[in-house]
Amino acid sequence: MDFTQIVPAMPALWEGMLLTLKMLVLAVSGGVALGTVLALMRLSSNPLLSGLAKTYVNYFRSIPLLLVITWFYLAVPMLLNWITGTFVSVGAFTSCLVAFMMFEAAYYCEIVRAGIQSIPRGQLHAAYAVGMTYGQAMRLIILPQAFRKMMPLLLQQSVILFQDTSLVYAVGLMDFLNTARSKGDIVGLPHEFLIFAGAVYFVISFGASTLVKRLQKRLAV
Amino acid sequence: MSMISIKNVSKWYGEFQVLTDCTTKVSKGEVVVVCGPSGSGKSTLIKTVNALEPFQKGEIFVDGISVGDAKTDLPKLRARIGMVFQNFELFPHLSITENLTIAQQRVLGRSLDEAMQKGMHYLDRVGLKAHAGKFPGQLSGGQQQRVAIARALAMDPIAMLFDEPTSALDPEMVNEVLDVMVELAQEGMTMMCVTHEMGFARKVANRVIFMDRGHIVEDCSKDEFFGNPDARSERAKQFLSKILQH
Ligand SMILES: Nc1ncnc2c1ncn2[C@@H]1O[C@H](COP(=O)(O)OP(=O)(O)OP(=O)(O)O)[C@@H](O)[C@H]1O
Ligand SMILES: [Mg+2]
Ligand 1 atom nearest the C-alpha of B38 is: 25
User: Whose CA is closest to atom 3 on ligand 1?
Assistant: B13
Contact B7, B32 (CB under 8 A): no
Whether the CB of A140 is below 8 Å from some CB of chain B: the reply is yes
Indicate the fold that domain B1-78+195-246 takes in CATH: Rossmann fold (3.40.50)
Which pLDDT score, from 0 to 100, does residue B198 have?
A: 92
Do A129 and B83 count as a contact with CB atoms less than 8 A apart? yes
A130 near B CB under 8 A: yes
Which of 1.10.3720.10, 1.20.1050.10, 3.30.70.600, 3.40.50.300 would CATH assign to domain A20-174? 1.10.3720.10
Rounded mean pLDDT of B240-245?
78
How many other CB atoms sit within 10 Å of the CB of residue B172?
A: 9
Q: B139 CA to middle of ligand 1, Å?
A: 29
Residue B43 CB less than 6 A away from ligand 1: yes
- Does A197 have pLDDT greater than 60? yes
Residue B152 to residue A130, Cβ atoms within 8 A: yes
* Band of pLDDT at residue A181, cut at 50, 70 and 90: very high
Interchain contact B103–A (C-beta under 8 A): yes
A198 touches chain B (CB under 8 A): no
- B34 compared with A79, residue with greater pLDDT: B34
Residue range A22-52, pLDDT digits in tens? 999 999 999 999 999 999 999 999 999 999 9
Whole-number mean pLDDT of chain B? 95
Q: What was the pLDDT predicted at B62?
A: 97
Q: What are the pLDDT digits (tens) for B41-55?
A: 999 999 999 999 999
Residue B54 contacts residue B69 (beta carbons within 8 Å): no
Please tell me the predicted confidence (pLDDT) of residue A221.
58
Tell me whether residues B151 and A130 touch, CB distance under 8 A.
yes
Query: pTM of the prediction?
Result: 0.90
pLDDT at B43: 96
pLDDT per position as a tens digit, B106-158: 999 999 999 999 999 999 999 999 999 999 999 999 999 999 999 999 999 99
B29: left (phi over 0), alpha (psi -120 to 50) or beta: left
Mean pLDDT confidence for A77-84:
80
Q: Work out whether strand B81-84 and strand B159-163 pair parallel, antiparallel, or are unpaired.
A: parallel
The predicted model gives B174-181 an average pLDDT of: 95
Q: How confident is the model at residue A123 (pLDDT cuts 50, 70, 90)?
A: very high
CA B167 to centroid of ligand 2, rounded, Å: 10
For ligand 2, the distance from its centroid to the CA atom of residue B168, given in whole angstroms, is 11
Model confidence over B222-235: pLDDT tens digits? Answer: 999 988 888 889 99
Report d(CA A24, CA A166) in Å as an integer. Answer: 10
* Predicted confidence (pLDDT) at residue B246 exceeds the cutoff of 60: no
Mean pLDDT, chain A, integer: 93
Q: What pLDDT is stored for residue A85 in this prediction?
A: 81
The ipTM, to two decimals, is 0.95
Give residue A218's pLDDT: 83
* Alpha-carbon gap: A5 to the closest alpha carbon of chain B (Å): 52
* Residue whose C-alpha is closest to residue A116's, from A42, A62, A185: A42
Nearest-CA neighbor of B152 among B94, B88, B82?
Answer: B82
Answer whether B52 sits within 8 Å of A148, measured CB to CB.
no
Q: Point out the ligand nearest to the CA of residue B162.
A: 2
Cβ of B40 below 6 Å from ligand 1: yes
Check residues B243 and A102 and name the one with the higher pLDDT: A102
List Cβ neighbours of A220 (8 Å cut-off, separation of 6 or more).
Answer: none
Question: What is the per-residue pLDDT for A45?
Answer: 92
Which residue has its alpha carbon closest to ligand 1 atom 12? Answer: B18
Find residues 108-137 of chain B whose CB sits inside 8 Å of chain A: 108
Is the minimum distance from the CB of B48 to ligand 1 under 6 angstroms? Answer: no
Which of A123, A130, A143 is the best mutation test for B, with the most CBs of B within 10 A? A130
CA distances in angstroms from B108 to B93, B104, B147, B232, listed in the order given: 21, 5, 19, 44
Sequence spans of domains, chain B: 1-78+195-246
pLDDT digits (tens, 9 = 90+) for B182-210: 999 999 999 999 999 999 999 999 999 99
B151 interfaces chain A, CB cutoff of 8 Å: yes
User: Average pLDDT in the B209-213 region?
Assistant: 96
Total beta-carbon pairs less than 8 A apart between chain A and chain B: 62
